[in-house]
A and B are shown apart, each in its own frame.
Chain A
Amino acid sequence: MSVEITIKGEVVTAYLTGELDHHNAAGIREKIDGAIDSNMPSLLVLDFGGVSFMDSSGIGLIMGRYRCLQKHGAKMHITGASPQIEKVMKLAGMNRLASIN
């Protein structure tokens, strides 16, 4: 599991690759939080295009970042989720927290 982060103006985009589970979530969380803390973006884009599997640990990751962004009045956008990931996200009601496409 890896994450590549790009910064364009006030937008931080995290491109996630691999399988997102409890084992991998902590390392990914640290990198995304580092980018949020040092850039204070107005929008965080989580790109799941390269994620082949996600369980509810991924939901924890999204919810944690959402809370963190809320403190700064920033927003979150989720993109590239496969049908499997979208199914987990819908079950967790993620569509109420962030825009998903």
Chain B
Amino acid sequence: MKIINKFNMNFYARSANEGFARSCISAFASQLDPTIEELNDIKTAVSEAVTNCIVHAYKEKLGKIYIISEIAEGGVLKIKIRDTGCGIENIEQALTPLFTTLGGERAGLGFAVMQSFMDSVKVSSKLGKGTTVTMTKKILPRITVNG
């Protein structure tokens, strides 16, 4: 698939940047003229992935979060969110809705939200090396009615 546009960014894994990250992706995805619902889906999925990096991957450590996003021909938005944190021991378990290693106020729904709101979610991880979450969503062209 031919890539039409691409951007990459990295920032400190500080919780204040959760809103910053979803605003950036939202602005980039707007080029595809998504509906408000599609844009909200993308923002919510990005917010979950970035929060996971801060809360789970780095915990008390201040690491960096790397995001690469591409727009491909056919209106496909790809978002890759990577950290160099602790990694996930058991990906299958991490993807299970309501599973959380932290308890307390964490709902354990991060990956469930990503999977539900995006077309595809791929997770790769190495213990001690970090985790990469790659998500895609196809933005369908809108039918315009003249007159």
Q: Which residues of A contact B (CB under 8 A)?
A: 19, 21-23, 25, 29, 53, 55-57, 59-61, 63-64, 83-84, 87-88, 91-92
CB A24 to nearest CB in B, in angstroms, measures 8
- State A53–B48 Cα separation when bound (angstroms): 12
A21 contacts B109, CB within 8 Å? no
B105 near A60 with CB under 8 A, answer yes
Contact between chains at B105 and A29 (CB < 8 Å): yes
A-facing mask of B30-69, CB < 8 A → 1, else 0?
0000000100100110011001001100000000000000
Does B107 count as interface, using CB distance less than 8 angstroms? yes
The chain B residue sitting closest to A63, CB to CB, is: B107
B139: interface (CB < 8 Å) = no
Q: State how many angstroms separate the Cβ of A54 from the closest Cβ of chain B.
A: 8
In Å, the complex CA distance between A32 and B112 comes to: 27
In contact, A23 and B107 (Cβ under 8 angstroms): no
Q: How far is the CB of B56 from chain A (nearest CB, A)?
A: 11
Say whether B19 faces chain A, with CB atoms less than 8 Å apart. yes
B:87-120 near A, CB below 8 Å: 104-107, 109-110, 112-113, 116-117
Shortest distance from the beta carbon of A94 to any chain B beta carbon, whole Å: 10
User: In angstroms, how far is the closest chain A Cβ from the Cβ of B123?
Assistant: 16
**In the bound complex, how far is the Cα of B51 from the Cα of A62, in angstroms?**
18
Known contacts A53-B43, A84-B44, A64 near B113 by CB under 8 Å: no
- B15 in contact (CB, < 8 A): yes
User: Pick the contact of A19 from B19, B51, B54, B105 — CB < 8 Å?
Assistant: B19
Question: How distant is A97 from chain B, measured CB to nearest CB, in Å?
Answer: 12
Main secondary structure of the interface of A (DSSP, over half): helix
Interface check B16, CB cutoff 8 A = yes
* A56 in contact with B105 (CB, 8 Å): no
B17 to chain A, nearest CB (A): 8
Residue of B nearest to A61 (CB): B105
Q: How far is the CB of B80 from chain A (nearest CB, A)?
A: 19
Among the interface residues A29, A60, A63, A64, which one has the most CB atoms of the partner chain B within 10 A? A60
CA of A19 to CA of B18, assembled, Å: 10
Closest B residue to A18 by CB, please name it.
Answer: B19
CA distance A88 to B48 in the complex (A): 11
Q: How far is the CA of A73 from the CA of B107 in the complex (A)?
A: 22
Known: A84-B44, A87-B117, A91-B113; 12 extra A-B contacts, CB below 8 A, are: A21-B47, A22-B18, A22-B54, A23-B16, A25-B105, A53-B22, A53-B47, A55-B113, A60-B105, A60-B106, A91-B109, A92-B107
